[in-house]
Structure formats: structure tokens, C-alpha cells
Amino acid sequence: MAGPAAAQKPEAPQRPSGYPRSYDTLIADARADGKVRIYANADRAEMVPVVAEFKRLFPGIAVYYADIGSTEMYQRYTRETRSRQYSADIVWSSAMDQQIKLINDGYAQQYASPEKPALPETAVWKNMGYGVTAEPIGFVYNRRIISDAQAPRTHQALEELLRRRRVEFTGKVATFDAARSNTGYLYLSQDFLATRDTRSLVEAIGATRPVLEISTQPMLAGVASGKLAIAYNVIGSYALEQARRSPQLGVVFPKDYTLVTSRIAFIGRDARHPAAAKLFLDFLLSRAGQAQLARHSLWPVRTDVPARRLPTQQTRVVRVGPQLLVNLDHLTRQRFLREWNAALVTGREQKP
């Protein structure tokens, strides 16, 4: 007689539509792996339904998801890999320049995802680094302190607002600490590439004696509570999610230009579960995975998935590629941080 239903093996997952027949072997190998280990800095709570959908489509594969800050992730992954310790199968971070450096330094393995043809050209590098999201960077403000009519809609308007209300906003403006946050360093360096006027804006921010943070969430919480009036260069997708719960939070994507960045994922060179890693990466890049991201706070990189998007002429897309390595040159970084600090100090020394 047949054994009890509980003893039956789960039904084999189906190959995604349009994938080659050889993908059946990858699915079988992934099930043999049995697990995938991911280091990422996408908020864990937002990833729960994404992981749940992957496990529904591919039962029998456990997902270990570690929510780690970008700097700690970089240090931990390189340390573990060099010492041949058990580490991540997938590394997925918003610190685009660090991800490109890891790839360039040989920490990733090549994988031509079947989803690659559906991705923008700017989102893939060397069949190793895959931009999974397209996230705008913007401003947030407290609508009880700054009315919607007064909210700055461009970088110039932000500077003018900060100079006009400098005394009132002293201690009530926040932005990333470029010296301690690699994500913040990336955003600010891209602003300086976009326009020389960024220095003048940083001086205006410095004049308010700003609160410098290493992540977006404290800035959002501070503005929502009224402790802060405004925050500059926050991750817009997180800001919109917070604004759903906090109606006093206003979100602006500047009309002169809005940076659009991506969380880059790659499969580790020494991944212990390479097949499961490929399967999970393909899911993130698939229409199903991208649709899951779109339902939460991560804007998808694919344009064939329904989601909110900014007008093309408004966006300045940060391309996934080797040009980001310039940011991590030691002398370049030191010079940039000196200029940033000098602008902050100049701003503080200006008379009201």
C-alpha cells in the first residue's frame, strides 16, 4: 500500500515559460543544493513576501536572508571569502560602486541569466553584475513644517529654501554621512558629476548644522515625527512606503534631475549553493519576481512590469559598470571627502 500523504515528495517545480529545456537540470541541481544564502541590504520586512513567492514556486529550497548594511556586508563577505569560510551565495547591495569593485576583483562568477534579454542595457555588466531595481533618490519633508506649496521641486529650490529658512532649520536637516555610508557617498558623488552647483547646495546644508546618518530609515523617521524638517538624498521607494503610513511625510523627486540607482546582485565566486543562487537570481529578474518587488518598496528594473515610473527626461540613471570604480580609488575618495567636508564647514561659517 502507498504510504501516508505526508510522506509523499513535493511535486517538482515547473520550468518557467520560455526557458530552455536544459533549465530543468538547473532546477534539479538547485533542489539538491537545498538552500541559498543571501547577503543584502533591502529591508528584510519588504523581502518576506518576495521570498515566500520564490519558495511557493520552488518548494524544498530554504532561503537564508541576512539584512546587512552595505559597509558591513562588503567587509564580511570579503573576509569570509578570503579565509574560505562559509559565506553568501548571492551578494545584493545598493552600494553600486562596492559591488562593481567586488566583481572586478574576482569575487563573482559569470552567469548568463535567461532573463537578461528583458533587462535594460544599463542594468547588466559582464554577465556578473545584475541591477535588480531602479530606485529614484529624492527629498522628504514634513508637511506640517513645510507646506506642499513651499516644498522644493528642484535642487536649486532646495538650496534657496535652506538659505531662506536657515535659522529655523538649524539641526532639522538630514542627509547621508558620505564618510561613513558608502551608499551616501555614491549618491553625493553622482550629484557632483551631475552639476557643479552641488557644492553650493552642500554649503547650504552645512549652514543648518545637519544631522548626518548612515541609512535612510532614521531620516524618514525623523522627518515623519517632526524632529527633522527635511532630508536630502533618501531612497525614494522607501520614502513612498513610509508616506503611506505617515501622511505628514511629503516626497519629492526633483524635476531638474532625479538619480535612479540600482541594487546590484551577483553570485559569489565560491558559492556553496550555485544552482540555487542562479535560480533565485533568475526569479528576482523574472516578471514574477519583479512584480513582487513592485508591490512593495523596491521599484523594478524591468519596464514590462506595471509599476510607478518617472518621466525618462527627468531621470539620471546610474549605469551598472566599471565607471563606478573611479569612486573607490583611494586618492579620489580622500579628495572628494575633503571637498565635501570643506563645503560643510564653509556653510557652517557663513553668517545668517
Q: What is the pLDDT of residues 285-312, one digit of tens each?
A: 999 999 999 887 789 999 999 888 899 9
Least confident of 40-44, 54-58, 132-136, 261-265: 40-44
Buried b (16+ CB within 10 A) or exposed e, 13-29: beebeebeeebeebbee
Q: List pLDDT tens digits, range 44-94.
A: 888 899 999 999 999 999 999 999 888 889 999 999 999 999 999 999 998
**Cα Rg of the chain, angstroms:** 22
Asked if 126 and 110 count as a contact pair (C-beta separation under 8 A), the reply is yes
Provide the residue count of the chain.
Answer: 352
Same fold, 22-134+263-309 and 135-260+328-349: yes
CA pair distance 191, 197, nearest whole angstrom: 9
Q: Would you list the domain boundaries of the chain?
A: 22-134+263-309, 135-260+328-349
Q: Which helix (H) or strand (E) holds 295?
A: none
Pick the CATH number of 135-260+328-349 from 3.30.465.10, 3.40.190.10, 3.30.750.24, 3.40.50.300: 3.40.190.10
Asked if 280 and 90 count as a contact pair (C-beta separation under 8 A), the reply is yes
In a 13 Å sphere around the CA of 242, the CA atoms on its Cβ side amount to: 25
Cell of 42: 533591502
pTM: 0.87
CATH 3.40.640.10 fits 22-134+263-309, yes or no: no
